[in-house]
Amino acid sequence: MRDPTAETGSQRRPRTPPPASLEGATVALLDIGKLRGSEYIDRLQARLDERGIASRRYRKPTPSRVASTALLQQIAAEAQVAVVALAD
């Protein structure tokens, strides 16, 4: 049987502490493709814009698929903070 998560083993990693400030940071807004997730991202992006905080939007094709390595690498290269819109 295949493991749909594609993980070969679990690994415990320390939690990355949140930044002290979003000043000068770019926030990645990841829509996982669930219904109304884009509405949440719209509102959050507007709030960030009001505060002069840069943001970039990303989207997975469907909620049932794991984000591709390429997408995760792109987010890591282009942003310092990420928000995932679950919309549940």
pLDDT digit string, tens, across residues 2-55: 445 556 666 777 888 889 999 999 999 999 988 888 898 999 999 999 999 999
19-to-26, 71, 87 alpha-carbon distances in Å:
12, 22, 24
Quote the DSSP letter at residue 68. Answer: P
pTM across the whole model: 0.79
User: What is the DSSP annotation of 50-66?
Assistant: HTT-EEEEEE-S-TTSP
Q: Distance (Å, rounded) from C-alpha 41 to C-alpha 23?
A: 19
Quick check: 58 pLDDT over 90? yes
**Residue 2: per-residue pLDDT:** 46
pLDDT band at 1 (very low <50, low <70, confident <90, very high): very low
Q: Distance (Å, rounded) from C-alpha 35 to C-alpha 13?
A: 31
84: β partners: 30
**Residue 86: per-residue pLDDT:** 72
